[in-house]
């Protein structure tokens, strides 16, 4: 599998990644075992990058990834480079959502994501949607503080 650098200083990841929204029943019924089978096959194919979000299945996608990693005997993220998103509150399946980039929300959701994933640090943590009520400078400062604390390695923005 061809590898690429994630950003200027980031991890080397496979050119193809896994989008894990399907681990959350968004596209139809699934279960943890199916998610684990997909992740095992991805590893066999040399895929080393996963993209998920805290809002996918209200954390179910992250939890499925975390339980797979735990079964591999790897508490720390050594098998995959993990990207997860934050900034949407609510249920994306029903469309009843709101955007929240406040420092308190980002902090709480980061801690919850780390717990569900079972890792000490996330490779790429990015804002899923921008909320117009929180100044972008405040969002960036909050994300930078997570890097400094060692909770994330890099950050970015999606669909802003």
pLDDT for the residue 96: 78
pLDDT band at 11 (very low <50, low <70, confident <90, very high): confident
Q: Which residues contact 70 (CB under 8 A, 6 or more apart)?
A: 118
Query: Of all helices (H) and strands (E), which one includes residue 66?
Result: helix 60-71
pLDDT per residue as tens digits for the range 121-139:
999 999 999 999 999 999 9
> Rounded CA gap, 125 and 152, in Å?
7
126: annotated active-site residue: no
Q: Which residues contact 91 (CB under 8 A, 6 or more apart)?
A: 58, 97
- The pLDDT of 145-153, averaged and rounded, is 96
pLDDT for the residue 57: 86
pLDDT band at 41 (very low <50, low <70, confident <90, very high): very high
Report the topology of domain 3-157. TIM Barrel (3.20.20)
Mean pLDDT of the chain: 90
71's tokens: 């079964």
| Catalytic pick among 27, 56, 105, 125 | 56
> Rounded CA gap, 4 and 60, in Å?
28
pLDDT for the residue 152: 96
User: Which contacts qualify for 35-41: CB closer than 8 Å, 24 or more apart?
Assistant: 35/61, 35/64, 35/65, 35/68, 36/64, 36/67, 36/68, 36/71, 39/65, 39/68, 39/80, 40/68
Say what the pTM is.
0.90
Of 145, 62, 132, nearest to 103 by C-alpha is: 145
pLDDT for the residue 93: 64
pLDDT for the residue 92: 64
- The pLDDT of 37-58, averaged and rounded, is 92
97's tokens: 């959502």
> Rounded CA gap, 61 and 22, in Å?
8
pLDDT per residue as tens digits for the range 48-106:
999 999 988 889 999 999 999 999 885 556 788 999 999 988 766 677 788 999 999 99
Please check whether residue 51 is in contact with residue 80, taking contact to mean a CB–CB distance below 8 angstroms. Answer: no
CA atoms lying within 13 Å on the CB side of residue 104: 0
Percent of the chain with pLDDT over 90: 68
127's tokens: 């804002």
């Amino acid at each position: 599998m061809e590898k690429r650098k994630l950003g200027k200083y980031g991890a080397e990841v496979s050119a193809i990644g896994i989008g894990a929204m399907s681990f959350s029943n968004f596209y139809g019924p699934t279960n943890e075992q199916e998610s684990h089978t997909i992740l095992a096959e991805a590893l066999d194919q040399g895929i080393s990058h996963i993209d998920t979000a805290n809002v996918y299945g209200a954390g179910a996608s992250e939890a499925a990834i975390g339980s797979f990693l735990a079964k591999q005997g790897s508490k720390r993220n050594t098998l995959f480079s993990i990207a997860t998103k934050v900034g949407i509150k609510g249920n994306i399946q029903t469309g009843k959502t709101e955007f929240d980039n406040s420092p308190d929300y980002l902090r709480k959701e980061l801690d919850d994501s780390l717990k569900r994933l079972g890792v000490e640090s996330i490779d790429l943590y990015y804002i899923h949607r921008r909320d117009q009520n929180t100044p972008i400078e405040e969002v960036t400062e909050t994300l930078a503080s997570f890097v400094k604390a060692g909770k994330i390695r890099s950050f970015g923005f999606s669909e802003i």
